[in-house]
Structure 1
């Protein structure tokens, strides 16, 4: 594990999360590594792991947009599973669609190595002061 991965929360480490930055359209790009241990009886990635990737992607995107003395908690995650996806690299594209002083809405898509969107979600997050 490299130094950047060692500083990630355990859940992000499990998902193989890697922050890639922003693309030319302003979407945050986050890469995940779907492991064989994430598969269901059909050999595709179990939906709970895809939801965890979407939660992680929306959260880290929101964190990139707030001051260091603030944090966030997910209030809801409306998730849609669109296509089965196998083991390997999955990339999230996320963007903030709404923001107030206390709340943020972030939308994210998960895309497989062929550029196919396999799941998407809208997260509603509460902005809090760190204690």
Structure 2
């Protein structure tokens, strides 16, 4: 499997979040992702539950690092710090993740989540541990 194929795989959680890979920056480390928040994502206030917003940001921060890793490596999130700035309403979102720094064992990334009007809904900073990719046979 190529790196591009790996980055575009839609695991079940990506499908649940309505994730679409819009762009991958494999030079600098980055990813732009679209998401569709369904009515089932609503909390008691009628806005998107914070854990689902965090999941969208987790995907963007992870893919930002995956974009620069060799095929034989992957990464797992060890810390995700999310700041909620505005209520997220049911519908479309765009997340942009960027690689901040990386060494042999860890990567740090950041991401922003915006609504269709471009309003910043939430931000995140993540630390990820780089590991060897397990090949499922």
TM over 0.5: yes
Classify the secondary structure of the residue corresponding to 2:32. Answer: strand
**Of residues 13, 16, 28 in structure 1, which corresponds to 2:15?**
13
**Match for residue 91 of structure 1?**
94
Contact 2:31–2:64 (Cα < 8 Å) also in 1 = yes
TM-fit CA distance, 1:59 = 1.1
Compare 87-96 and 54-63 and name the one that shifted more: 54-63
For structure 2, the 5+ residue unaligned runs are 1-7
Classify the secondary structure of the residue corresponding to 1:42. Answer: coil
**Match for residue 113 of structure 1?**
116
**Match for residue 3 of structure 1?**
none
Q: Does 1:62 align with 2:85?
A: no
**Match for residue 81 of structure 2?**
78
Instruction: Give the Cα–Cα distance (whole angstroms) in 2 for the partners of residues 59 and 94 of structure 1.
Output: 8
TM-fit CA distance, 1:22 = 4.6
Instruction: Give the Cα–Cα distance (whole angstroms) in 1 for the partners of residues 132 and 88 of structure 2.
Output: 37
Q: How many residues are paired up?
A: 124
Instruction: Give the Cα–Cα distance (whole angstroms) in 2 for the partners of residues 17 and 124 of structure 1.
Output: 21
For structure 1, the 5+ residue unaligned runs are 1-5
Classify the secondary structure of the residue corresponding to 1:53. Answer: helix
Classify the secondary structure of the residue corresponding to 2:113. Answer: strand
TM-score normalised by length of structure 1: 0.89
Classify the secondary structure of the residue corresponding to 1:68. Answer: coil
TM-fit CA distance, 1:82 = 0.4
Classify the secondary structure of the residue corresponding to 1:13. Answer: helix
